[in-house]
Amino acid sequence: MRKFAFLAPLGALLAAAAGPAAADPAAINVTLGAELQDRADELGEREVRGQADRLAEVVGRALAGGGDLDGARIDLVLTDLRPNRPTMKQLARQPGLDALRSLSIGGASIEGRITTADGRMLPVRYGWYTNNLAEVRGFGVWHDADQAYRRLAVRLAEGRYVSR
């Protein structure tokens, strides 16, 4: 019992140190734009919804370190989504596609708004796509879309909300 007596003061010290630094993280909500909802059946609804969840995860992780957007509400709309390789749904519909050798220019476009903790509303607009097939580096279906999410997340963390 005596061996663990030092843990109580250590726990109290850690709790006190973490208290003031722990601010409310930003609330992130991602929806699909109307055109993307129409294309979701073509790409696969489950995969498109998974990409919306991935966007929220990447942005949340980038903003977790604190900053200007603590306590903010971030509403993002995934307006366009392009895979680098055929999705499972596309492979099922078009048997001539090759899951490994069929390659495409991928990326994503995101719009939305940020409502800061003090009530200001800031627009968000970002899109990123590979320029040509020679620049496609990833092997995943959604590699370039994920690249767009990461680039947006870095910009949000830096305070740059609108760029095209």
**The residue count for the chain:** 164
Model pLDDT, residue 122: 92
Average pLDDT in the 113-141 region? 86
Provide the total of helices (H) and of strands (E) in the chain, helices listed first.
5, 4
Highest mean pLDDT among 46-55, 79-88, 132-141: 46-55
Neighbours of 116 (CB within 10 A): 16
Confidence at 12, pLDDT banded by 50, 70, 90: low
- Alpha helix stretches (DSSP H) within 22-142: 34-43, 45-63, 88-93
Query: What pLDDT is attached to residue 164?
Result: 54
Q: Report whether pLDDT(118) > 70.
A: yes
Pairwise CA distance, residues 110 & 80, whole Å: 7
**Residue 78 CA to its chain's centroid (Å):** 10
pLDDT in tens, 52-92: 999 999 999 999 877 788 888 999 999 999 998 888 988 88
Q: How confident is the model at residue 101 (pLDDT cuts 50, 70, 90)?
A: confident
Please spell the DSSP secondary structure of 56-78, one letter per residue. HHHHHHHHTT-STTTT-EEEEEE
Instruction: Quote the pLDDT of residue 19.
Output: 45
Residue 7 has pLDDT above 60, yes or no: no
Mean pLDDT of the chain: 83
pLDDT of amino acid 21: 46
Hey, is 116 helix, strand or coil? Answer: coil
Model confidence at 15, pLDDT cuts 50, 70, 90, reads low
